[in-house]
A and B are shown apart, each in its own frame.
Chain A
Amino acid sequence: MNDKVKKLLERNHVILDGGFGTELQKRGMKPGETSEIMNFVRPDDVEAIHRSYIDAGADIINANTFGANRLKLAKTQYTTAQVVREALMIARKAAEGTDALVALDVGPTGQLLEPAGTLSFEDAYDIFREIIEAGKDLADLVMIETMTDLYEIKAALLAVKENSDLPVFTFMSFEKNGRTFTGCLPSSAALTLTGHGADAIGVNCSLAPDELYGIVGEMAQYTDLPIMVKANAGLPDPATGAYSISSAKYVYDCIKYTKMGVKGYGGCCGTTPEYIRDLKKMLALNTPVPRAARPELSSVCSYSRTVDITCPKIIGERINPTGKKLFKEALRNNDINYILNQALEQISAGADILDVNVGLPEIDEKEMMVRVVKALQGITDLPLQIDSTKPDVIEAALRVYNGKAIVNSVNGENAVMERILPIVKKYGAAVVGLTLDENGIPPKAEQRVGIAERIAAKAAEYGIPKSDIFIDCLTLTVSTEQKAVYETLNAVREVKHRLGMHTVLGVSNISFGLPTRELINSTFLSMALECGLDLPIINPNITAMSGAVFAYRVLAAHDENAAAFIERFGGEAAKKPAVPKAEVTLSYAIEKGLDKEAKQLTAQRLDAGEDAMDIVNGELIPALDRAGDDFGKNRIFLPQLILSANAAQACFSAIKEKMSGANRISKGKIVLATVKGDIHDIGKNIVKTLLENYGYTVIDLGKDVPEQKVVEAAIEHDVKLVGLSALMTTTLGAMEQTIRLLRESGHECKVVVGGAVLTQEYADAIGADCYAKDAKDTVDFAKKILG
């Protein structure tokens, strides 16, 4: 951090500036006009506003660069660099001869990042990098503000850290419900931004000072960094644009922040130099107190869920190909949905954190890890544990992770720690430390505790606190080393109670080679929990395992009044798995959409020796056809048709589980995509579900798919049928272009198109082979082409 900013932060308070856009409007800028253009058309006004804030007492002024990014400037005649430099020069001029520092102000891109939106993390990073590159030599520090998406502010923060030496303050905007628009929590923001190297964190915009106490208080529990508050002067009147809170009330409501130890005071929308002047007067009378010591807490988080390790938490181990045929196959086939299903199953079984391991020799682990992490955080808010031995895979995963993850793992070997700990530190993660080293696993408990101490000491050298290291005392197999069990348990106890560190343990290895492994596993788990195990890595889908943790939380008085236990197990007797009644046939189950029954009946018939293809062709397809026919005649509706398809899917998964190669029952491959520019993909996904349940293998390219990618996939997988979907008239051009490129490639294939705005005439005009008015039509065409 440079000296000027460092000195400023050593003072007991720092005064920031106030609203800028509202000040510009007072000087004649129209609503909807771009503030950043004012650097060129009203430079004197911009300078005068800066000057007025310095005169009012601001220690730092923000240059007029809030929206200076290439997305927001696209429709103007200016580049990012032009705006950033012009704005910073005006601010520097205003600050000349004063002690005020000039901040490069960075606001949101204006687009939502994937998975909620379409902007990729990497593109967002690049947009911010461009801003930093342009302004770093003219600014004293960077202020990242008004962010509502933790992922976006992480991209901006990384861009600052990797492309400059500037200090950086980060601010997010919260709503009354205590979250940002995208669901980010104050605790998650504090953990993640602190971990990624911010120099101060805070809140700005959206709410008035008296609405932010709880949010600021929560942040303070999760960081030691200075905290700053720049609230709004209430809300604007929709007709006049005037803000509702006076300077007197604003400043009065800020007094409470001095008692909370808040370091930085400023304003956002609707505040004026008057507010800043009054804040300065208030701070002269109310010196902020030092912050209260916070409880030592180990926490990890996604953007919208913080897991404090205050009692045993379950790490789900199922996202791992080791010893799992179907999982390996899914990795080879890029079947991300299979992996997501593994996640959802564990979540409903009570997992708190998910371990993610996608290592398989024949695939690109790094690329797959990034895809899986991105996909997982689109559907779950459980924190992730990145499980790999390769530093480049770990770094790639942490980079795209939206929160504070756990790295699994390092061990006592110096070379391993030196490779991995710097990455852990850079991305503010926690890390699992295995108590082994270059000499293997030491037999005795005290030796393992010794390695744990070494790991903690080494991590401290990198600035990683003890609370972010979880020690794994290693489970050995009881059938080969019966006496070793107590060495593990004693080591857990010592690490937990003497070293005061948290512990993690893979449990299932204990029972290898023994019958009824569940009994051994769950008993060992209970023993370990009592010794101080915090993070059991288990298969939560087995009730005996997750149940042992839930029960332990009751017995150890963590689960008050057994509320969580009762919620999970209270209805257990009522929901026994449905046993098919005699009259429920497979056809009936599919037509009625009874997926559990359909799966069970299929399994029974396979067990009885029936051929899988006979079941598929003899019952499954005809039953689906009848449902399709009823749909065509308006006797049933889309949800019912899809329920039938789901039941058929359950049959297929029963067949897959029994047969060695799932591809054996494929009736042919089809590439599906929602065309470039379009993100309405629910229709395409319905078609996919239906096609898969007719036995076709669908290569799903997703939404917003570039034209060339469709062509490449068609050639790579040598498909005879491509399905394209578009919902908007504005994206039909992309559909036409995709078909043209497919034809030009010379690859022989048919193209079926669908989507709300398409018609037969239009499909003909753009050279499609078939127009499908609904999912059923697509299946009919697929049958014609592929059989």
Chain B
Amino acid sequence: MDVKKEALRYLGYRGKEPDEATAELVGRGYDELSAVSHPRDCYRIVDKSAAGNLLIGRDVAAHLAESSRVIFFAATLGSEADKLIRTAEIRNMAYALVLDALASAMTEAHCDALETRLHGEVGGFFTWRYSPGYGDYPIDVQPEIIRFLNADKLIGLTVTESNILIPRKSVTAVIGVSDSEQSRGVRGCAACGMREKCTYRQEGTTCGS
């Protein structure tokens, strides 16, 4: 993934070249974020039957229907990125906005890299990654996932009482693993809670995730 391009896409530049000032902010932001952030992750692989209390709702069950094992993972960009964004908000909101988009893109890029690594280590066939908040998979499951992964101890990932992950640029997700070929499951618009009001869809495109 080209993190800068992806960030520009989040900022609304769909295929359009950014103006000079924005391009400068993106370049500077990328360098500064790369310098301060410490992406970390942790994961566990278990039989699907052993993860029943973490798999709530119809949609995630359907997603993992053909999988025998599941990988839960958590990834975070770390609290330094949050601090950088917070500080930028005081002096230059445009820069803060750009940093926010870049940090989201970096987190996704880290998840992609982790998935590739996992595939090398675990083998078999993977579904797409599926996160709390997709479909009817409730975000109330976040504290349980954090505890199951021991993620607060291993990577410093915590969750607030309203189930928001802290540090902010973080992801938890589950991937289904099968020894034989399986459907990768739904991804993109079908799994997305925002599909009814998405500006990409209104324009006839998708966000691509």
Residues of A within 8 A of B (CB): 31-32, 34, 75, 108, 110-112, 115-118, 146, 148, 173, 175, 177, 180-183, 205-206, 238-239, 269, 337, 340-341, 344, 378-380, 592-593, 634, 636-640, 642-643, 645-646, 677-680, 682, 685-686, 689, 728-731, 756-757, 759
Contacts and interface: CB of A to CB of B under 8 A. Distances in A.
B166 A118 contact: yes
A379 B85 CA distance: 9
A181 B94 contact: no
A182 B79 contact: yes
Nearest to A595: B92
A731 B139 CA distance: 12
A679 B79 contact: no
Contact of A643 (B21, B44, B89): B21
Interface of B: 11-13, 16, 18-19, 21-22, 25, 38, 40, 42-45, 53-54, 78-80, 82-83, 85-87, 89-94, 96-98, 100, 139, 143-144, 147-148, 150, 152-153, 155-156, 158-164, 166-168, 193-194, 196-197
A686 B158 contact: no
B193 A31 contact: no
Given A32-B144, A110-B158, A640-B21, A116 B12 contact: no
A379 B87 contact: yes
Contacts of B13: 637
A177 B162 CA distance: 31
Contacts of A378: 83, 86
A344 B94 contact: no
B21 A116 contact: no
A239 B139 CA distance: 25
A32 B90 contact: no
25 contacts: A32-B144, A34-B147, A110-B152, A110-B158, A111-B166, A112-B158, A116-B167, A118-B161, A118-B164, A146-B153, A175-B38, A177-B38, A181-B79, A269-B153, A378-B83, A379-B90, A634-B12, A637-B13, A639-B98, A643-B21, A678-B162, A682-B96, A685-B89, A686-B93, A686-B97
Contacts of A182: 79, 156
B166 A593 contact: no
The 7 closest A-B pairs by CB, nearest first: A181-B156, A677-B162, A642-B94, A32-B148, A637-B12, A379-B87, A689-B93
A638 B160 CA distance: 29
A720 B166 CA distance: 35
Given A111-B159, A117-B158, 9 more contacts: A118-B166, A239-B44, A269-B153, A337-B90, A643-B94, A677-B161, A682-B89, A686-B93, A728-B162
Nearest to A637: B12
B43 A759 contact: no
A642 B160 contact: no
B102 to A, nearest CB: 11
A637 B22 contact: yes
Contacts of A112: 79, 158, 166-167
B55 to A, nearest CB: 13
Q: Interface centre among B89, B139, B196, by most A CB within 10 Å? A: B89
Given A148-B156, A239-B45, A640-B22, A344 B93 contact: no
Contacts of A32: 53-54, 144, 147-148
Contacts of A639: 11, 18, 21-22, 25, 94, 97-98
A344 B162 contact: no
A638 B97 contact: yes
Given A116-B79, A593-B94, A730 B87 contact: no
B91 A344 contact: yes
A118 B156 CA distance: 15
A513 B18 CA distance: 52
A56 to B, nearest CB: 24
Contacts of B93: 642, 645-646, 685-686, 689
B158 A682 contact: no
Contacts of A729: 193
Nearest to B164: A679
B160 A118 contact: yes
A709 B186 CA distance: 42
Interface centre among A32, A239, A685 (most CB of B within 10 A): A32
A681 B166 CA distance: 14
A108 B139 CA distance: 22
> Which of A117, A146, A180, A183 has the largest number of chain B CB atoms within 10 A?
A117
Contacts of B148: 31-32
A429 to B, nearest CB: 24
Nearest to A30: B50
Contacts of B163: 730
B6 to A, nearest CB: 15
Contacts of A206: 153
Contacts of A636: 19
B194 A757 contact: yes
A640 B19 contact: yes
A730 B152 contact: no
